[in-house]
Amino acid sequence: MSPRASSGVGNLIARKEVVICAGSGGVGKTTVSAAIAAGAAVRGKKAVVLTIDPAKRLANSLGLPELGNEERRVEMDADGELWAMMLDAKRTFDDLVDTYSPDEQTRREVLENPIYRQLSNAVAGSQEYMAMEKLHELHQEGNYDLLVLDTPPTRNALDFLDAPRRLARFIDSRSLTFFRASTKMSMGIMGRGTGVLFSVMKKATGVDLLKDVAEFFNAMGDMTDGFRERAERVDALISDSRTTFLLVTSPRAAAIEEARHFHRKLQSEGLPFGGVIVNRMREPVRAEPAPELDSELAGMLDEKLAGKVARNLAEHRLLAERDALNVDRLGERLGRKPILTVPELSGDVHDLAGLAELNTHLFAPGALQR
């Protein structure tokens, strides 16, 4: 028997093909992403979770080797299927070059170019770019009902959106034209303005750097159109109504602040925002500190321990109330968009059983608050 498909987070992902889990670091984004995909699989869908850097124990339990760049089926008892992949940014980039190289020589020239090697390997932003690329590729192939992207941890909320655009712009043909002209190294061929500009740039960077850059762009040659079109299609995909962004946050003040910032940016970019998942909420306590409770505890335990239990309760209450307050503050900003809260579980989630436990909250009927 498969559980009701449309409870809790199920409501937010119904009729969606792409779910992008975004949020600041340390809030449990990877775990929530994996849980959503697992939950969809239990509900009969063929779902895949794309993750960047899962905790080793979670990766192991999902059967992911350290650096695979292909989806793998995760063994689980479900009507649908759960697949997972761990993204390798460099491999994805190399694969793209393979796809767009007109011939073997170009392919080799690009792959061996020092600029390309640094670009694909070491540079911040390429991971984000490649995450979006892979998402797009899997969506094009159409083998899955649901794609869940666990976005890379970034300090600035939407880096993972801006980075692909920046990188695509860098490879864009307009800068290409300029650098191609510069290889001719002749003021006569370049316009006069460009010639002056180029000589100033040379002074700032050194000739070899410019030459390498020019060679890089030359080697990229006609590929750049492919890259640009692709970046445009990625943009189209993430703005599509079949896509939804879920913000994952913890209820702590700093994370909530980040989530509000994030929400504003999603809105200003006109991206489809589905709702917020607040992870690790401290469970509310109904019991109030009272003399009767103190004396009841003192009757059950020795006096010193009873005192500690009472103080612990007061502290827990304070923290739980603060969590609730922070979530309310976030809610005020969201308009009619839902918030879903998940209580702090007793241990770290690092296996399928843990994901299933998380899902009893994520997919719980009535879990959405508006």
Partner 1 sequence: MLDKRLVYVTGKGGVGKTTVAAALGLAAARAGKRTVICEVAEQERITGAFGHEPAGFTETEVAHNLHAFSIDPEQAKQEWLRHQLRSGALAGLLNQSRIFQYVTAAAPGLAEVVTMGKIWELAQLQRRKAEAAPYDLVIVDAPATGHGLALLRAPRTFANIARVGPIKNHAETIHSFTTDPKVTAVVAVALAEEMPVNETIDLERRLADEMGLRLSAALVNGVLPERFTNAEAEAMASLDGAGSTAAREALTAALRAHDRARSQRSQVARLKRGVEAPVSTLPFVLTPEVGLEDLESLSVEVERKL
Task: Draw the binding track, 48-87, toward partner 1 (x: CB under 8 A; -: no contact).
Answer: -----x-xxx------------------------------
125 binds partner 1 (CB under 8 A): yes
Q: Which is nearer to partner 1, 262 or 363 (CB)?
A: 262
Instruction: Tell which one of 154, 224, 243, 279 touches partner 1 (CB under 8 A).
Output: 154
Of 73-81, 164-172, 219-227, 235-243: span binding partner 1 (CB under 8 A): 164-172
Strand blocks (E) in the chain:
18-22, 46-51, 72-74, 81-86, 146-150, 243-249, 273-281, 339-343, 368-369
10 binds partner 1 (CB under 8 A): no
217-246: contacts with partner 1 (CB under 8 A): none
155 binds partner 1 (CB under 8 A): yes
Say if CB 9 and CB 39 are below 8 A apart: yes
Residues near partner 1 (CB under 8 A), total: 76
Q: Token pair of 216, please?
A: 């890089």
The dihedrals phi and psi of 369, each to the nearest 5 degrees, come to -110, 140
CA proximity to 52, closest of 95, 16, 21, 87? 87
Q: Which is nearer to partner 1, 119 or 146 (CB)?
A: 119
Q: Which is nearer to partner 1, 81 or 159 (CB)?
A: 159
Cα separation, 317 vs 302, in Å, equals 23
Cα separation, 26 vs 22, in Å, equals 12
Instruction: Tell which one of 261, 272, 351, 364 touches partner 1 (CB under 8 A).
Output: 261
327-366: contacts with partner 1 (CB under 8 A): 346-348, 350
Q: How far is the CB of 91 from partner 1 (least distance, A)?
A: 17
Pairing of strands 18-22, 146-150: parallel
Grouping H, G, I as helix, E, B as strand and the rest as coil, residue 80 is coil
Task: Give the contacts of 10 (CB within 8 A, at least 6 positions apart).
Answer: 4, 39, 43, 363
Of 3-11, 99-107, 118-126, 223-231: span binding partner 1 (CB under 8 A): 118-126
Q: How far is the CB of 45 from partner 1 (least distance, A)?
A: 27
